[in-house]
Every structure is written in structure tokens, then in C-alpha cells.
Amino acid sequence: MAVPKARRDMPLTPISYPTFGSMGKTGSWRTFRPIIDYSKCTKCTLCWVYCPDVAITRREDDSPEIDYEYCKGCGICANECPVKAITMQREEE
């Protein structure tokens, strides 16, 4: 949908269609980076369930993969992981 130029082109109420990454690549917002230790991961998929930004995908074997282009580094996955397989590391380290 094009942005209207004049009032007569405007809808009655603002309408937004979902687009992929409409806020840009939000991974740049991150100060802490989640790192998965796959030797500890039990593939329980809880991190995938809890990720509020759908930035964790499940591989075929159910092991999680973080999409660092969109992960904002909120740390919820690390907090929820029952076996402490995810640690948060400062970006510059």
C-alpha cells in the first residue's frame, strides 16, 4: 500500500499491513547477545516459545537457532532456559 499524498486518498482509519521487518533490522538495538551452548541444550524448545520477537527458529532436530538480525537481546530466553544453556554476553566483548 502506498502512503497517501492527499486527504482524499486516506482511509477512514489508519490501516497497517504486516510486513517483514517493518521497523528495520532490530538486532542493532542489542547490547547483550544470547549465546547457545549446544552441548547443554536439551531441545526442549522453551526459548522458542518465550522469544517475544520470534527471533528464535527451530531446526529440524528441534534445536534452537537465534536470528541475530532481529534478536534485540532482551534475555528472556536465557532466563527461561531450564538447563542454563543460554548466556548473555556484552556485544563488544
Partner 1 sequence: MAQIIIDTANHIAGYAAKAARVRVVAAYPITPQTTVVEKIAEFVESGEMDAEYIRVESEHSAMAACIGAAAAGVRTFTATSAHGLALMHEALHWASGSRLPIVMAVVNRAMGAPWSIWPDFSDSLSQRDTGWIQFYCADNQEVFDTIIQAYRICEDERVFLPAMVCLEGFILSHTYMPVKIHDQEEIDAFLPPYRSGWILDVNNPFSHANLVSPEWYMEFRYMIQEAMENAKQLIPEIDKEYGRRFGLQYGGLIDKYKCENADLIICTMGTMGSEAKIAVDNLRKEGLKVGAARIRVYRPFPVEEIRNIAEEASIIATIDRHISFGMEGFLASEIKASLYHMEDKPLLAGFIAGLGGRDVTFKTIEEIAKKSLKWMKAGRVEKETVWVDLRE
- Decide: 41 and 78 in contact? Cβ < 8 Å: no
- Decide: 89 and 36 in contact? Cβ < 8 Å: no
| Alpha-carbon gap, residue 7 to 44, rounded angstroms | 52
Q: Among 5-13, 36-44, 59-67, 84-92, which window interacts with partner 1 (CB under 8 A)?
A: 5-13
Between 9 and 61, CB nearer to partner 1: 9
At 82, is the secondary structure helix, strand, or coil?
coil
**Distance of closest approach, residue 43 Cβ to partner 1, in angstroms:** 31
23 binds partner 1 (CB under 8 A): no
Residues that bind partner 1 (CB under 8 A): 7, 10-18
